[in-house]
Amino acid sequence: MNAEALTPPPMPGDAAALIADMGAQARIAAKRLAQTPTADKAAGLVAAAAAIRARASEILAANADDMAAGRTNGLSGAMLDRLRLDEGRLAAIADAIDAVAALPNPAGTEIDRVTRPNGLMMSRVRVPLGVIGIIYESRPNVTADAAALGLMSGNAVILRGGSEAVNSNRAIHAAFAAGLVEARLPADAVQLVPTQDRAAVGAMLRAQGLIDIIIPRGGKGLVARVQDEARVPVLAHLDGVNHLYIDADADPAKAAELAVNAKMRRTGVCGATETILIDRAYPAPLGIIDALVAAGCEVRGDGAIATLSPHVEAASTGDWDTEYLDAIVSIAMVDGLKGALAHIDAHSSRHTDAIVTEDISAAERFLSEVDSAIVMHNASTQFADGGEFGLGAEIGIATGRLHARGPVALEGLTTYKWLVRGSGQTRP
Interface residue with its own copies among 152, 382, 395, 396 (CB under 8 A) is 382
How far is residue 243's CA from residue 238's CA, in Å, rounded to a whole number?
A: 15
Q: Does 10 bind its own copies (CB under 8 A)?
A: no
**Residue span 37-76 as binding mask against its own copies, x where in contact by CB under 8 A, dash where not:** ----------------------------------------
Interface residue with its own copies among 8, 74, 310, 390 (CB under 8 A) is 390
Interface residue with its own copies among 379, 393, 395, 408 (CB under 8 A) is 379
Instruction: Provide, rounded to whole angstroms, the least separation between the CB of residue 265 and its own copies.
Output: 6
Residues in contact with its own copies, total (CB under 8 A)? 65
Instruction: Provide, rounded to whole angstroms, the least separation between the CB of residue 133 and its own copies.
Output: 13
Interface residue with its own copies among 54, 80, 99, 120 (CB under 8 A) is 120
Interface residue with its own copies among 98, 254, 313, 327 (CB under 8 A) is 254
Q: Does 426 bind its own copies (CB under 8 A)?
A: yes
Q: Does 122 bind its own copies (CB under 8 A)?
A: yes
The closest alpha carbon to 238, from 226, 255, 256, 254, belongs to: 226
- Report how far Cα 343 is from the mean position of its chain's Cα atoms: 26
The closest alpha carbon to 399, from 159, 227, 268, belongs to: 227
Q: How far is CA 346 from CA 243, 308, 343, 389, in A?
A: 12, 25, 5, 27
**Residue span 406-425 as binding mask against its own copies, x where in contact by CB under 8 A, dash where not:** xx-------xxxxxxxxxxx
Which amino acid, 211?
I
Q: Does 34 bind its own copies (CB under 8 A)?
A: yes
Q: Does 346 bind its own copies (CB under 8 A)?
A: no
Q: What is the DSSP letter of 189?
A: G
Instruction: Provide, rounded to whole angstroms, the least separation between the CB of residue 375 and its own copies.
Output: 6
The closest alpha carbon to 415, from 132, 208, 191, belongs to: 132
Interface residue with its own copies among 156, 375, 408, 409 (CB under 8 A) is 375
Interface residue with its own copies among 212, 246, 290, 362 (CB under 8 A) is 212
- Please, where are the H alpha helices in 118-272? 141-152, 166-182, 198-205, 220-229, 252-264
How far is residue 28's CA from residue 32's CA, in Å, rounded to a whole number?
A: 7
How far is residue 253's CA from residue 181's CA, in Å, rounded to a whole number?
A: 54
Instruction: Provide, rounded to whole angstroms, the least separation between the CB of residue 307 and its own copies.
Output: 28
Closest to its own copies by CB, 310 or 390:
390
> Are 214 and 400 in contact, with CB atoms under 8 Å apart?
no
Interface residue with its own copies among 140, 372, 392, 410 (CB under 8 A) is 372
The continuous run of DSSP H or E covering 128 comes out as strand 121-128
> Are 258 and 356 in contact, with CB atoms under 8 Å apart?
yes
Interface residue with its own copies among 114, 310, 317, 346 (CB under 8 A) is 114
If 0-12 CB within 10 Å is exposed, 13-18 middle and 19+ buried, where does residue 180 land?
buried
- DSSP letter string over 258-291? HHHHHHHS-TTSTTSEEEEEEETT-S-HHHHHHH
Residue 403 gets the label, from left (phi > 0), alpha (psi -120 to 50) or beta, of left
Q: Does 225 bind its own copies (CB under 8 A)?
A: no
Q: Does 229 bind its own copies (CB under 8 A)?
A: no
φ/ψ of 221, rounded to 5, equals -60, -45
Q: Does 104 bind its own copies (CB under 8 A)?
A: no
Q: Does 373 bind its own copies (CB under 8 A)?
A: yes
Instruction: Provide, rounded to whole angstroms, the least separation between the CB of residue 370 and its own copies.
Output: 8
Give the footprint of its own copies on this chain (CB under 8 A).
31, 34-35, 114, 116, 120, 122, 127, 129-130, 212-213, 227-228, 231, 233, 235, 251, 254, 257-258, 261-262, 265, 354, 356, 363, 367-369, 371-380, 382-383, 388-390, 400-403, 405-407, 415-427
